[in-house]
Structure 1
Amino acid sequence: MPSKKPFSLLELASVREGDSVSQTLSNSVAYARHAESLDFNRFWLAEHHNMEGISSSATSVLIGHIAGQTERIRVGSGGVMLPNHPPLVIAEQFGTLECLYPGRIDLGLGRAPGTDPITSRALRRDGIGAEQFPDDVERLQELLGPLQPGQQVKAIPGAGTNVPIWLLGSSLFSAQLAALRGLPYAFAGHFAPRLYREALKVYREHFRPSEQLQRPYAMLCLPAAPADSLDEAQYLTTTSYQRILALFRGQPLLMKPPVESMDGLWSPAEEAGVRDFLALQLLGDADNLRQRLEQILATVEVDELMFTVDLYDPVRRRHALDILAEVRDSL
């Protein structure tokens, strides 16, 4: 009988209206600990900047904090937006994390800046951006690999740690690059559902074995609103609807309490856009989630699943993990 497919989590350290960042990060720790108790595989944090309502901008700092408050679960970036950083800095940060928490750190890399153009320029040296992503990935692999004779620039700590590098994407570009480099690949179906089949197919078909990875390993990230009933899930997911609507409108992304109805809060065009954004969402109780997940898995081959759970109440959010674990164990 095949072993169960690993389930993992993506975290934005989302701030609720009226909460402080300190309270938000405390909630994230409790969320990660509960995930670990349920044998979730990874807990990744996403880098975003200049977004009121998301407090994961200092991604490597939060990874260290979460790893220090847990014992077994892998902790990493989903992802570090590499155009914002010199590869040497990332190699040193994640090399240090690997030395502190051996065998538990993942380095997921994204090609987008994770912010607006003005903030992107404030983060990174002029003239360097996404077009340099393949070269930056190669440089990072060198810096985290064994020291070479005559190597002048060294990541200390970092060299020889071989922190696992993942490429993240929402299009075909990173799928092709991950296949070429022989790296694991994660597709961002939680906000870009359109190309997941094509990207994962391209990745598998063009994969070349590497020292890090002998066979393709793909992960699909999905939005989920698990609850004890479909009605409750439909109520709770209005928090996500309001948040995505705020994103479309360029408003702060603070999490709002769920509402009984979205009528009057969005236009028909906005509703269509939000539902398209969440086209791969798992919504409902364990049976609803299992059925939806089986539909998705019938169309694509993945090795691991990652979820975003955008629920307002921290207790209900942790309970949602109980439901996801039940689904995992029954697949």
Structure 2
Amino acid sequence: MSRSIEPRWLRLRPLCAALVLGLPWLALGAEPRFGLGRPATPQEIAGWDIDVRPDGQGLPKGSGSVARGQELYDAQCASCHGTFGEDNQYMAIAGGVQQGDLERGRAASLATDSPIRTVGTRLNHATTLWDYIHRAMPFARSKTLTADETYALTAYVLHLNDILPADATLDEKSLPAVKMPNRNGFTTDHGFMRKGGAPDVRNTACMSNCATRVTLTSELPAHARDSHGDLSEQVRSFAPIRGVRVGEAPAKASGSAPSPGFELAKRFACVACHGVDQKVVGPGFREIGTKYKGESNAETRLIARVRAGGAGVWGPVPMPPQAHLPEEDVKTLIQWILAGSPTQ
């Protein structure tokens, strides 16, 4: 009786594989150490874990009334969405809910020849409204609302849609229980923003003439550098790579302080739509200053423009009214623009 002997190369396979993969600790029996990154802290995880599910999972503790929501809406939302949610050139958030819709669980107005797609008729869960407001509103100052403020705004928007009474108050328990008119009729066969629009994404796969090579690049445009706070505090470190510390602008002269006007432009999120030298959504600050340079009433005219908002001078995209900004700060901001928009 003979015993088969395993060839030597077969016995060496684990070692060879470990060396080829760059994992020498497997061969040596040592504990794996990648040397990259670190575990995320609870605080870092909490900063990203903000999603709210249809059943209410993820909602933080808090409460807000319709009355408090109206105060917040008038101050921060009406300039874009209209006093009663009717749409000032942006998304309509009220209207279209008909009598009996709540009982049917379907917004009947969506089945008409002129469907009215608003927050009240389109959404099938009220928690989706809370989640969106908390993540993305107000425009250019997203994630600045507290949980209580978000509950209040959600309650008021639902009241505008005749879904909640004027004396209602929402919290993390009562919000998931709100029944939306379109609970049983939600579809994606339409545009998101406009009444007659086509679906925003058709999700058609490319099966011919596909790209054979993809190059991934990443950069932070100058106009976006200071739009969302200090990125080094928001991005978890990975090996030696950290988020950009935007408070330390590149090539800043030693001992020089940022211009007060530039600081106001960043604080009020003007830089989300306007670059210093280049157009973003709206024109660059220096382009504005050049256009109005020498006009005797330029300062008064631009202050009025900031207060009232509007469109047409620089294109069709409207600028929301900024009536909530302090008078002195608006004046300083306009004087800075007319002075050439220095950053220091």
TM-score per shorter chain, which class? under 0.3
TM-score (norm 2): 0.22
Instruction: Point out the structure with the larger strand share.
Output: 1
Q: As a proportion of its length, which structure holds more helix? A: 1
| Greater relative contact order (CA < 8 Å, ≥ 6 in sequence) | 1
Which structure has the greater CA radius of gyration?
2
